[in-house]
């Protein structure tokens, strides 16, 4: 069984400050890991994904995440927050290989607020 824990249901930063959203996972097999963003009243958009290639993954809108196997973590960062980054962010895991890598398990989400 796999699970995802997102630390902090709400993170507030100032515009221009570092964004750090935390995600820890558990999986019995090597995982695929994802970060999705959801803007108000919209669907989910993929920010970035880890699929066992480079451990530092760069995504859209200046976000990146680092896969750390020893810490079972996949934290999302952005050096400088912009007002347009305000949204809810979801970390998700699926199984690498096998037949189940189309089934995503999501964390509960982190709401990012950016203050002017």
Report the interface residues with another protein, using CB under 8 A: 4, 9, 32, 36, 42-46, 49, 51, 90, 92, 94, 99, 101-109
Q: How many CB atoms lie within 10 A of CB 109?
A: 17
Which residues have CB under 8 Å from 80's CB, separation 6+?
Answer: 16, 17, 18, 62
Per the rule left: phi > 0, alpha: psi between -120 and 50, beta: everything else, 60 is beta
- Shortest Å, Cβ 27 to another protein: 15
d(CA 39, CA 69) in angstroms, rounded, equals 30
| CA nearest to 15, candidates 86, 100, 106 | 86
- Nearer to another protein by Cβ, of 23 and 81: the residue is 23
Task: Write out the two tokens for 95.
Answer: 């199984």
- Shortest Å, Cβ 26 to another protein: 15
- Nearer to another protein by Cβ, of 17 and 105: the residue is 105
- Nearer to another protein by Cβ, of 86 and 104: the residue is 104
- Shortest Å, Cβ 34 to another protein: 8
- Shortest Å, Cβ 20 to another protein: 19
- Nearer to another protein by Cβ, of 13 and 36: the residue is 36
């Amino acid at each position: 069984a796999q699970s995802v824990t997102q630390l902090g249901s709400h993170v507030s930063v100032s515009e221009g400050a570092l964004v750090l959203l935390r995600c820890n996972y558990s999986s019995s097999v090597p995982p695929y890991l994802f970060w999705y963003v959801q803007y108000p009243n919209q669907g989910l958009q993929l920010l970035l994904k880890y699929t066992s290639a480079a451990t530092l993954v760069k995504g859209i809108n200046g976000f990146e995440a680092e896969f750390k196997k020893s810490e079972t973590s996949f934290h999302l960062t952005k050096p400088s927050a912009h007002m347009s980054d305000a949204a809810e962010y979801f970390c998700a895991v699926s199984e690498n290989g096998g037949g189940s890598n189309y089934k995503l398990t999501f964390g509960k989400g982190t709401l990012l607020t950016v203050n002017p």
